[in-house]
Amino acid sequence: MIRNIKLYFSFLVASLKRMMEYRVDCIVGMVSQIAFQIIELVFIWIIFQTTDNIADWSFEHLLLLYGVMMLSISVTDLLFDSTYDIGKRLIRKGKFDTILLRPVHPLISVLGESETSTALGYMILSVILIVSMLIKLQVSVTLFLILKILYFGILGGFIIGGIQTIFSITGFWTYKSNEVVWSVFQLHKLAEYPIEIYNKFIRILITIILPFAFASYYPTLDYLGLNESNLIFIVPLIVIVIWIIAINVWNWALKKYRSTGS
Amino acid sequence: MISKILAIAKQNGKEGLYYRFDLLLYIFNFIVEITVYIFIWLAIYNNGNQIQGMTFEQITTYYILVVSLSPIINWGINEIMGNAIREGEILRELLNPISYFNYYFGIRIGELIESTIVGVLTFGICSILFGVLLPNGILNFLFFIIIVFLAVIVVYFFELLIGMTAFYTNSIWGVEIFKRAVLSIFSGMIAPITLFPEFLQKIANFLPFKDCIYTPINIYFGELTNMEILQVIMKQYIWIVVLYIIAKIIFNKAIKNITVNGG
């Protein structure tokens, strides 16, 4: 286990270094990500021209929630980005066969190949949003709170990354860039807003079936001191359950795997 | 000339439709997007707010139309054009027995076929899920379609201009993102323009992007008189002529000092 984690990080560092070689692409990816997020922030700003709260969430609360989600997304993006295109990049080209020959679980190899230039964009934006909104809402920023935000940010990243990993096995059959993983990932947009606004079906979807709300909504409630249900404490448990499922699903897919022979 | 354009459109459209499963996923993503918008506005309406004389049914219809129209406006030629320039394909394209502008217009129409299918299906499914208002009369619906089509031509020339920056910089990412950002804000994609603060409304009224999304939807609702609609169409024709001339001038200049990478 420890060995696997160590290996994963050494793979990851190698691929991040590879990415840094292309400095211009890196900066472009970062800036574009910030630009797309800013469009959404403009949307939130415009709707608050017509109202002063959404389901009792003020403009500042909503931006804080948004920032918390961005932090989780940045962690997902940094660590698990390679789940997107295993079909196209590895399976179709036969590169996956070499990964199978390595004396390490293939999932570790695959995840270690993550290289993303957008994560930094998400991260910068999320830090700006979280810090400025906490100050504006007059929440005292203690060291404990900062550690808590980091802790739940990383766990949130693991929740979303785990969900992506589960769905990434579709690449074994589609052999191409994985629109399925992207579609599932896009559901995180639902959890960028307070779950009170949704109907029962969507609430169940983003808390129980695909628990995106635990990467944004519940941690935010906790930072604001509004956490009455104490649901925040099951976040580590959710991470463990999701990853147990992810690893088992992957092992099952590996048994079914047939090389394209290229 | 038109038959050549259509032949290219058909070929390009078919390629897109080959990935049918992907198209279904795009539709799924659009439905998620619409869902988020609708529930946010539902929460705002539940607060008892009256929004600029728009009913909740109208705002629901507005966003369903926005998201259904968004691929039609957004799925342009920039990616194909940028790749062609970077990889040296441009050389072959310039030697085609069809002019460069017409060739890419054909590709744009191909994208339009694909995106229209996605848009119509998205609209159909969402109208069942959330309910929509029907267009205010057949005439308004026809004008809606005409104005969207003219908007596609306007946007096409912007795409050409953006694509041509690749002649100089080899990478169109930056400008492309800028276009997307401007388009999604000032076309009314993120919210009806009447809800914008005044200075943003002024900018939106000046730019042609409003007529890509916001104006056609208002025509769909029957908010514009026939006279106003004709004015919009005139304005679009003027933009098309102006942009065509600018694009032609820049193209003729750029083509002289083009460098091809290993093409």
Give the pLDDT confidence of B3-50 residue by residue, as tens digits: 888 888 888 777 777 777 888 889 999 999 999 999 999 998 888 777
Work out the end-to-end distance of chain B between its first and last CA atoms, rounded to an integer number of angstroms: 27
Cα separation, B109 vs B113, whole angstroms: 6
Contact A254, A99 (CB under 8 A): no
Give the DSSP H/E element, type plus range, for residue B7.
helix B2-18
- Within 10 Å of residue B82's Cβ, how many Cβ atoms? 20
- Provide the pLDDT for residue B76: 84
Q: Report the amino acid identity of residue B174.
A: G
Interface of A with B in 191-230 (CB under 8 A): 192-193, 196-199, 202
- Within 10 Å of residue B102's Cβ, how many Cβ atoms? 15
Cα separation, A251 vs B4, whole angstroms: 52
Please, which pLDDT band fits residue B263 given cuts at 50, 70 and 90? very low
Q: Report the amino acid identity of residue A45.
A: W
Rounded to 5°, angle at Cα A187 from A181 and A188? 105
A262 pLDDT higher than 70: no
B242 pLDDT higher than 80: yes
Alpha carbon of residue A74 to chain centroid: 6
Interface of A with B in 133-192 (CB under 8 A): 174, 179-180, 182-183, 186-187, 189-190, 192
Cα separation, A203 vs A157, whole angstroms: 20
Kindly state the greatest CA–CA separation across chain B: 63
Average pLDDT score, chain B: 88
Contact A51, A174 (CB under 8 A): no
Q: Would you state the structure tokens that stand for residue A12, as one six-digit string?
A: 């990851």
- Provide the pLDDT for residue B261: 58
B177-232 pLDDT, tens digit per residue, is 888 888 888 999 999 998 888 999 999 998 889 999 999 999 999 999 999 999 99
Cα separation, A176 vs B18, whole angstroms: 13
Chain A residues with beta carbon closer than 8 angstroms to that of B213: none
Per domain, the residue ranges of chain A are 2-256
Helix (H, G, I), strand (E, B) or coil at A199: coil
Q: Does A189 sit within 8 Å of B21, measured CB to CB?
A: no
Q: Would you state the structure tokens that stand for residue B162, as one six-digit string?
A: 């953006």
Tell whether A65 lies on the interface with B, counting CB pairs under 8 A: no
- Within 10 Å of residue B112's Cβ, how many Cβ atoms? 23
Q: In this predicted complex, what is the ipTM?
A: 0.86
Distance from CA of B78 to the nearest CA of A (A): 16
For residue B26, the chain A residue with the least C-alpha distance is: A183
Cα separation, B170 vs A199, whole angstroms: 48
Radius of gyration, CA atoms only, chain A: 19
Contact A95, A171 (CB under 8 A): no
Per DSSP, helices labelled H in chain A are 2-20, 23-47, 59-80, 86, 95-101, 106-112, 119-136, 143-168, 171-174, 179-186, 200-204, 217-223, 235-256
- Provide the pLDDT for residue B112: 93
* CA distances (Å), origin B179, targets A237, B193, B209, B214: 43, 18, 10, 17
Rounded to 5°, angle at Cα A253 from A236 and A201? 50
Helix B100-130 / helix B226-254 crossing angle, nearest 10 deg: 140
Contact A215, A156 (CB under 8 A): yes
Q: Does A47 sit within 8 Å of B44, measured CB to CB?
A: yes
Contact B52, B194 (CB under 8 A): yes
Place of tokens 């690749």: B166
Establish how many alpha carbons lie within 13 A of residue A61's alpha carbon, considering only the half-sphere containing its beta carbon: 18
Listed in sequence order, the residues at least 6 apart from B214 whose beta carbon sits closer than 8 Å to its beta carbon are B187, B188, B192, B193, B204
- Provide the pLDDT for residue A177: 67
B117-130 pLDDT, tens digit per residue, is 999 999 999 999 99
